[in-house]
């Protein structure tokens, strides 16, 4: 409902400009119609008095009202809606007066009430109703005193029609608000379900501690990467990273400190890979990086940067001692299966671990 009201406010200026244009057209059409009526009914004797009373004066009055409306819109722009509605009522009153023999014109007073519905506010519907009834009463009091064409039945019928119209208008606004409330609830429910689904899907793919992809996602993405590399002949590399002496960290500083170290290493890895790469927590203190569309030299340089940044990072969780990692990296060859590719990379990690640690071994 809030979004709908925002939409109405956003488009209100356009709506008001449209109404002003219609009012201007009504003045022009009224002038042309009065000329046609006069010429049609008085072809032989053109009475200046008729032209003066029913064509020139009303048209000039309508023109002045339109000028006044535009001036007031500049002076009090906040009252724009009420000025538009008032002007509509005044125009209808003038047209009804100069055509007072046309009894159905009294029904035209429902138009400002109908127009007020589009502002989506009960106060403006009530304002249109009060303005219309007031002007209608004044016009009919004048006709009753100074004219013989006053009709009580037409007067009562027009008042009843205006009352029915405002009741319908208020009912329509209530119904629109009710509909918008239901739509809002439905949209919020749908958005919540989408958000819950997204969170669930993310939780199934991501590692809770490091916010890297989990073991299962790594296996799926490695298979996709191999297929993509084979299809498009794009370089593919795999790095397996293991924190050195992690058991000693756990035994010395506790598992909570160990978890924080795992998280810190993951953050460094995440911040130093390209947007096409995919980093995962393979399990425990081991990580993997699927490196897509890197030359062998580029991949090694990036991995060395990760290794050195981890080494230079002083962890407060382990008395500011350095943490180091060993890395095995291998570039994919089209003859390899997924399992063979992983096993060969894992052997390179094993070699790095057993030849001094804190190093990158590749082939």
pLDDT reported for residue 107:
73
Q: Mean pLDDT, to the nearest integer, of 215-234?
A: 92
Strands 325-331 and 360-362: parallel
pLDDT reported for residue 203:
64
pLDDT reported for residue 123:
87
User: How confident is the model over 105-131, as pLDDT tens digits?
Assistant: 667 788 888 888 888 788 888 898 898
Class of residue 359 by CB neighbours under 10 A (exposed 0-12, middle 13-18, buried 19+): middle
Q: Mean pLDDT, to the nearest integer, of 40-49?
A: 60
Residue 238 bridge partners (DSSP): 290, 330
Confidence of residue 358 (pLDDT cuts 50, 70, 90): very high
- Assess contact for 246 and 310: CB atoms under 8 A: no
Question: Residues for the chain: how many in total?
Answer: 363
pLDDT reported for residue 317:
64
User: How confident is the model over 286-342, as pLDDT tens digits?
Assistant: 999 999 999 999 999 999 999 999 998 876 667 767 899 999 999 999 889 999 999
pLDDT reported for residue 117:
82
- Assess contact for 240 and 281: CB atoms under 8 A: no
pLDDT reported for residue 91:
87
pLDDT reported for residue 32:
84
H/E element, 303: helix 296-312
User: How confident is the model over 159-210, as pLDDT tens digits?
Assistant: 777 887 788 788 777 777 777 777 778 877 887 777 777 666 666 788 989 9
For 41-55, 101-115, 131-145, 254-268, which range has the lowest pLDDT when averaged over its residues? 41-55
Among residues of the chain, what percentage have pLDDT more than 90? 37
DSSP state letter for 106: G
Q: Which residue has the tokens 């509605």?
A: 85
pLDDT reported for residue 146:
53
- Residue 5 clears pLDDT 60, i.e. is over it: no
Rounded Cα–Cα distance for residues 353 and 347 (Å): 10
pLDDT reported for residue 30:
80
Q: Mean pLDDT, to the nearest integer, of 29-58?
A: 71
Confidence of residue 262 (pLDDT cuts 50, 70, 90): very high
> How far from 177 is each of 54, 140, 181, 356, CA to CA, in Å?
44, 36, 6, 73
For 129-138, 264-273, 274-283, which range has the lowest pLDDT when averaged over its residues? 129-138
Class of residue 295 by CB neighbours under 10 A (exposed 0-12, middle 13-18, buried 19+): exposed
Helix, strand, coil share (%) of the chain residues, nearest 5: 70, 10, 20
pLDDT reported for residue 181:
78
pLDDT reported for residue 279:
95
**Counts for the chain of helices (H) and strands (E), in that order:** 12, 7
pLDDT reported for residue 296:
93
State the Cα angle at 173 between 171 and 176, rounded to 5°: 110
- Residue 26 clears pLDDT 60, i.e. is over it: yes
**Which domains, and CATH codes, for the chain?**
2-186 (no CATH), 215-362 (3.30.70.270)
- Assess contact for 249 and 306: CB atoms under 8 A: no
Residue 236 bridge partners (DSSP): 292
Q: Mean pLDDT, to the nearest integer, of 225-230?
A: 92
Q: At what angle do helices 152-205 and 110-117 cross, to 10 degrees?
A: 10
Residue with more model confidence, 165 or 251: 251
């Amino acid at each position: 409902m809030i979004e709908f009201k925002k939409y109405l406010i956003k488009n209100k200026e356009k709506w008001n400009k449209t109404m002003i244009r219609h009012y201007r057209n009504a003045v022009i059409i009224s002038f042309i119609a009065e000329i046609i009526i006069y010429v049609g009914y008085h072809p032989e004797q053109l009475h200046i008095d008729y032209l003066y009373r029913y064509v020139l004066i009303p048209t000039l009055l309508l023109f002045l009202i339109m000028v006044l409306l535009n001036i007031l819109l500049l002076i009090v722009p906040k009252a724009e809606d009420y000025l538009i509605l008032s002007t509509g009522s005044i125009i209808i009153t003038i047209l009804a007066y100069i055509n007072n023999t046309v009894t159905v014109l009294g029904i035209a007073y429902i138009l400002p009430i109908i127009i007020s519905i589009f502002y989506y506010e009960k106060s403006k519907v009530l304002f249109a109703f009060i303005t219309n009834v007031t002007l209608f009463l004044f016009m009919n009091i004048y006709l009753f005193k100074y004219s013989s064409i006053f009709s009580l039945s037409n007067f009562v019928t027009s008042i009843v029609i205006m009352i029915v119209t405002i009741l319908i208008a208020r009912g329509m606004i209530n119904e629109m608000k009710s509909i918008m409330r239901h739509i809002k609830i439905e949209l919020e429910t749908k958005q919540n379900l989408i958000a819950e689904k997204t969170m669930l899907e993310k939780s199934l793919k991501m590692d809770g501690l490091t916010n890297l992809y989990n073991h299962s996602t790594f296996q799926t993405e490695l298979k996709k990467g191999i297929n993509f590399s084979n299809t498009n002949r794009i370089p593919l590399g795999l790095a397996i990273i293991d924190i050195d002496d992690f058991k000693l960290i756990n035994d010395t500083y506790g598992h909570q400190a160990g978890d924080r170290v795992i998280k810190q290493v993951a953050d460094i890895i995440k911040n130093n890979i390209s947007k096409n790469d995919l980093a995962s927590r393979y399990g425990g203190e081991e990580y993997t990086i699927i490196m897509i569309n890197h030359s062998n030299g580029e991949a090694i340089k990036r991995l060395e940067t990760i290794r050195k940044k981890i080494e230079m990072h002083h962890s407060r969780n382990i008395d500011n001692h350095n943490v180091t990692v060993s890395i095995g990296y291998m570039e994919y060859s089209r003859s390899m299966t997924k399992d063979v590719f992983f096993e060969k990379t894992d052997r390179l990690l094993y070699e790095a671990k057993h030849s001094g640690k804190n190093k990158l071994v590749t082939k």
